Copies of this chain bind each other. A is one copy, B any other.
Amino acid sequence: MAKRIGRYVIELPNRPSLLAGAAAVGKTEREGPLKEEFDICYESDKICEGTWEQCESRLTSDAVSRALIKAGKVYADIDMIFAGDLLNQCVASAFFAKNTDIPFAGLFGACSTMALAMALAGLATDSGAADLAIAAASSHFCSAERQFRFPLEYGGQRPATAQRTVTGAGAVLFGKHLPERPFVRAVMIGRIRDLGITDANNMGAAMAPAAACTIIDFLRDTGKKAEDFDQIVTGDLGMIGSHLLLDLLKERESVDLSTVHEDCGNLIFDPRTQDVHAGGSGCGCSASVISSYYYKRLCSGKIRNVLFVGTGALMSTTTAQQGSNIPGIAHAVWLCAPEES
């Protein structure tokens, strides 16, 4: 039985393992600091002959297929896929899943989707609902620009606070506990936070309060201190959101995250050499970074104790045009290195 610790944290007593992880990314990500970490790097964001949306589905397909190959599994072995993306009606994930014949649970958590998928895949494998479950998420710069901003041809300028949607997908395969693989110790579904941000070009600011809330809840419920984790990794707050998070926690909660905090949106690009403004974003950002860079570091034991806090901004073009605020949410997954590393 899963066990609730404190008010919000759910401990997974069977400690389901992350059997394999893989990531597929596009051109700008291939030119970034993590290029060596990704399994598949395309030379262009035109990943297949189809539409941008089909290119995004292809990235998910690549990441999932590669993760399965690493684990020596095939689609038919998998009991459940938890996946989502930023596109209207989650079509990138659905059109990938339809070719797999695997039971598909569609999720929406904006850029927090990978954390939500990992939390639910962890619960499913811990409870016996699934022997093998996949968590995956994707985004594509071009499908996101078309849907949320301007046609690419328009060449719209983005302000310095804007983040660049990552062209990428990540997938992690969950299964029964194996001592030689990283495992999930606990998960937490987040509460929505709304501090009145309305600037769709400053998602970091919209998500930082939710990240702060989830981290504080998690530390309180588990009785841990920030420094008990080798790393507390936020999804994609980017440069501005990351600064806000550290300030919020220090000023309001007297929690100093500066020594352990990293952010996937800050790691995937190099703002000094790449024109990415405030960093990376999109479901595929944390999905690709967690599934490759952090997964490998956990496997090797370089880091033993990671709190992954996926962050999402809950808005649509309709709510933005209607002048609604942009609420944020953050889900958490506590990942541990293998005992045998």
**Partner-B contacts on A (CB < 8 A):** 1-4, 8, 10, 51, 53, 79-80, 84, 86-91, 94-95, 97-98, 101-110, 116, 120, 123-124, 126-131, 146-147, 188-194, 314-319, 322, 324, 327, 329
* Chain copies in the assembled complex: 2
Q: Which residues of B contact A90 (CB under 8 A)?
A: 108, 314
Q: Is the CB of B103 within 8 A of A89?
A: no
Complex CA gap A4/B80 in Å reads: 12
Q: Which residues of B contact A327 (CB under 8 A)?
A: 94-95, 98
Partner of A80, one of B131, B189, B193, B319: B189
Given A98-B327, A103-B188, A105-B120; 17 other pairs, CB 8 A cutoff: A1-B127, A1-B128, A4-B128, A4-B130, A86-B89, A87-B316, A87-B318, A88-B317, A89-B314, A91-B318, A97-B192, A101-B191, A104-B329, A105-B189, A107-B107, A107-B108, A120-B120
Shortest beta-carbon distance from A143 to chain B in Å: 8
Q: Is the CB of A314 within 8 A of B109?
A: no
Q: Which residues of B contact A123 (CB under 8 A)?
A: 123-124, 127, 129
Complex CA gap A10/B123 in Å reads: 14
Give me 23 A-to-B residue pairs in the complex whose CB atoms sit less than 8 angstroms apart, sorted by A's number. Answer: A2-B128, A2-B129, A4-B130, A4-B131, A10-B129, A53-B318, A53-B322, A89-B316, A90-B314, A91-B315, A94-B314, A95-B324, A98-B194, A98-B327, A101-B191, A103-B189, A103-B191, A104-B189, A105-B116, A106-B314, A107-B107, A123-B124, A127-B129
Given A87-B316, A88-B317, A120-B105: A98 touches B192 (CB 8 Å cut-off): yes
Report the nearest B residue to A50, measured CB to CB. Answer: B322
Given A123-B123, A131-B4: A106 touches B95 (CB 8 Å cut-off): no
Shortest beta-carbon distance from A8 to chain B in Å: 6
Shortest beta-carbon distance from A272 to chain B in Å: 32
Complex CA gap A127/B120 in Å reads: 12
Q: Which residues of B contact A190 (CB under 8 A)?
A: 103-104
Report the nearest B residue to A85, measured CB to CB. Answer: B108
Complex CA gap A104/B80 in Å reads: 21
Report the nearest B residue to A146, measured CB to CB. Answer: B318
Q: Which residues of B contact A147 (CB under 8 A)?
A: 318
Report the nearest B residue to A194, measured CB to CB. Answer: B98
Q: Which residues of B contact A124 (CB under 8 A)?
A: 123
Report the nearest B residue to A190, measured CB to CB. Answer: B103
Q: Which residues of B contact A1 (CB under 8 A)?
A: 127-128
Shortest beta-carbon distance from A287 to chain B in Å: 16
Q: Which 8 A-B pairs have the closest CB atoms?
A: A127-B127, A103-B189, A98-B192, A1-B128, A106-B108, A89-B316, A94-B314, A2-B129
Shortest beta-carbon distance from A327 to chain B in Å: 5
Which of A51, A105, A109 is the most central at the interface, judged by chain B CB atoms within 10 Å of its CB? A105
Given A108-B106, A192-B94: A129 touches B4 (CB 8 Å cut-off): yes
Report the nearest B residue to A317, measured CB to CB. Answer: B88
Complex CA gap A100/B303 in Å reads: 36
Which of A80, A192, A322 is the most central at the interface, judged by chain B CB atoms within 10 Å of its CB? A192
Shortest beta-carbon distance from A291 to chain B in Å: 20
Q: Which residues of B contact A194 (CB under 8 A)?
A: 98
